[in-house]
Amino acid sequence: MRRTPALIVGGGLAGAATAIGLARAGLPHLLVERSRETGDAICGGFLSWRTLETLAGLGIDPDMLNPTRVTRARIYAGTRRADAALPHAAVSVTRRRLDSVMLAHAARLGTPIERGVTVREIDGLTVRTADGATFTPDALFLASGKQDVRGMARPETARGIDPTLGLRVRIAPSPALRRALDGGIELHLFDRGYAGLALQEDGTANLCLAVHRSRLQAAGSPAQLLAALGRDMPALGEWIALIDGRASIDAIANVPYGWRQRVGVGALFRLGDQAGVIPSLAGEGMGIALASGVAAAQAYVRGGPGSAERWQEDFARRLARPIGIAGAVRQVAESRRAAWLLPLLRPGLIQIIANATRIGQT
């Protein structure tokens, strides 16, 4: 049995942000991460202007991630299109790059990191791993992302009666796609789903989809769904045609969009997607992960393990507005009404929605 004052489970954005905060404060802690090498999570890779401020506060220069800025959005529904400038410049980056930079920064500040540690079960504050080890921390920071851990699973009801799946495929862009995504992002709306497309720092175009299970089942498979969308949506179909037939389509099931952890429990800090899950079309999932890690570390520095319950409830209140607005927008975006309503979506309204779905600063 191993004891530690503070245990961080997960080396993604929320876990790394927490580690940076605790390391800066000189407080003892340990971060465990299941992967031996940093991979590339299923993620749209969009860092909003608010998120860039959070990263700067953590000591991360956005130019280290991607020197190119995203300044505009193009939205498609059926054959209709709307364009708008973003309220402020954003960045598109792979999770492999961002997570690597974050963990390296935490390590430089003194965070001990143990990789290849898979947490199988959590009982209260007792953490059991796949290799039979047991950790008993005074405070536990759960940053396992969308993956649930036995004993800490989010409720089945959070998934809804027609659960959402996340899909991601990389595209080697043509010159035309590079021009289309130069300084911008695309969002394609369709019945029971939507797709986002951005050009990342490694030169690939990242196509991410959130789609209800019923829509995927009707198509038959992820590849068949992409083919159907390509036929039905010419603007997206031009880019789908560029996908290498051997390219892998990564997937994650049962994403509980709209869920929040509203009640604090003991000395447990639930972070990132374990604190709340915003619909991905808002482009604020990574911002919430980072903000949760920063805020939880600050609460722990001020009040120790006993601050967890109040912090969790306060953070749930911070999430209420962005998650609520993003959920309402998502309902419209995934409906057949989206194509008819898109002409009413003026650039000013797009900017208002973009600002309203950012998580506020503390």
Domain assignments of the chain as residue spans, ordered by start: 2-44+94-157+256-335
Encoding tokens for residue 314? 């306060």
Mean predicted confidence (pLDDT) in 316-341: 89
Lowest model confidence (mean pLDDT) among 25-29, 79-83, 228-232: 79-83
Quote the Cα angle for 311-26-5, to 5°: 60
Confidence of residue 276 (pLDDT cuts 50, 70, 90): very high
Which of residues 42 and 258 earns the better pLDDT score?
A: 258
Encoding tokens for residue 106? 């935490």
Give residue for tokens 């089942």: 217
Confidence of residue 362 (pLDDT cuts 50, 70, 90): low
Q: What gap in Å lies between CA 330 and CA 321, rounded to an integer?
A: 14
Kindly report the backbone phi and psi dihedral angles of residue 122, in degrees, each rounded to the nearest multiple of 5, phi listed first: -130, 125
Q: What is the CATH number of domain 2-44+94-157+256-335?
A: 3.50.50.60
Query: pLDDT at position 26, please?
Result: 98
SS3 207: strand
Residue 344, pLDDT > 70, answer no
Mean predicted confidence (pLDDT) in 299-310: 98
Confidence of residue 345 (pLDDT cuts 50, 70, 90): low
Half-sphere exposure (Cβ direction) of 297: Cα atoms closer than 13 Å:
27
Query: The whole model's pTM is what?
Result: 0.95
Q: Give the CA distances from residue 360 to residues 21, 135, 169, 194, in Å, rounded to whole numbers and listed in that order.
A: 19, 34, 31, 25
Q: Crossing angle for the helix pair 285-303 and 13-25, nearest 10 degrees?
A: 30
Query: pLDDT at position 201, please?
Result: 96
Query: pLDDT at position 361, please?
Result: 65
Encoding tokens for residue 128? 């059991």
Give residue for tokens 């905060």: 21
